[in-house]
Amino acid sequence: MAATLLSHPIPKPHSIHEYTGLAKPPHLARLEGATHKSGVVEPLSISVNDTEDGYVPGFLHMPPDFFTTNPPGASGQQDQGQGPPPATALPPHHHRTAAVLLSGAGGGVAGPSSVYLSLACKLATLGRGIPTLRLDYRFPGQAGACAADVRAGMSYLRDMYGLDRFVLMGWSFGSAVALSTAADDPRVVGCATVASQTADGALDGAARLAPRPLLLLHGSGDNTLCVGCSQRLFHAYGAGDRTLEVFEGDNHSLSHNAELAEEMLCEFVARCAGVRVGAEEKRDVLMAELVEDGERHNLMERGGDLRPPERED
């Protein structure tokens, strides 16, 4: 069945404590050995103030040399009674761009074929490291609440670290959340999607994203959301900085081309952030294998990315 909508509300909000052992990819030592750098990963529970309220869990990957005079507390929680902390000034060698990575209709923090696990570490380890937030949802499958989670994540990064430009990335249902959020927010400087749907504001979001860059990745063998969904988004965007990459015969999570997809996503985020990736850095960072093929499915399950209605095929 080739659907265009994945929406399956899960009543129980997620907690960061569900994701023990999912802060880093299993073979991060390969990246650290090649670059002699180690990023900082902070588990977060970010306050969301809307009709539902509550906290959205996630992991924030920070560059190892990111300068801050006002680091978040050990819990990563904002104090609702105190208001947001003051924004932090950045030194000249850092930019103001962060990436926010969003999973599918069931939530999760590992991403399609667990590429978010390694992608976040790689982005933070680049020469001009890009802070990256792997964000879950409080109420997966509920588009409005999920968009509020993303806005809360961006506000957190602005208030805590002075970051005010964002690249949003989404898989499946998460693509609609990314695109619809970007439509009215000029702070979003680019969007990337993997196996996107067209419902929940995705088509309108793609049309209103231009001229900001758009990258669409999809497998032609996707039985969950057909490749025609990304093709429709490509056409809705119109002329401009748009790319559609179709992986022949691949599935909903791009499991047969996970490494190539991860490399393309990393290069896209870096370009949107104005970060040049040289040949040596591409070899040592972008092409480092931090998650092996045999580990990807299990990590997706542990990361919550295969909760119903999401699946890999």
Q: List pLDDT tens digits, range 19-77.
A: 989 999 999 999 999 999 988 999 999 999 998 889 999 999 999 888 543 344 434 44
Has residue 225 been placed in a domain? yes
Q: Are 41 and 24 in contact (CB under 8 A)?
A: yes
In a domain, 17, yes or no: no
Query: Is position 134 within any domain?
Result: yes
Whether 7 is in a domain gets the answer no
How far does Cα 75 stand from its chain's mean position?
21
Asked, for residue 313, whether it belongs to a domain, the answer is no
Whether 19 is in a domain gets the answer no
- Taking the C-alpha atoms of residue 115 and residue 125, their distance in angstroms, rounded to an integer, is 15
* Type of residue numbered 275: V
Structural domain contains residue 10: no
The stretch 282-295 carries a mean pLDDT of 96
pLDDT at 91: 52
Q: How many domains does the chain have?
A: 1
Domain that holds residue 151: 28-68+77-302
Query: What is the Cα–Cα distance from 288 to 269, expressed in whole angstroms?
Result: 17
11 pLDDT more than 70: no
Entry pTM: 0.90
The CATH number of residue 281's host domain is: 3.40.50.1820
Position 5 pLDDT exceeds 60: no
Phi and psi angles of residue 301, each rounded to the nearest 5 degrees, phi first: -65, -45
Give domain status of residue 51, yes or no. yes
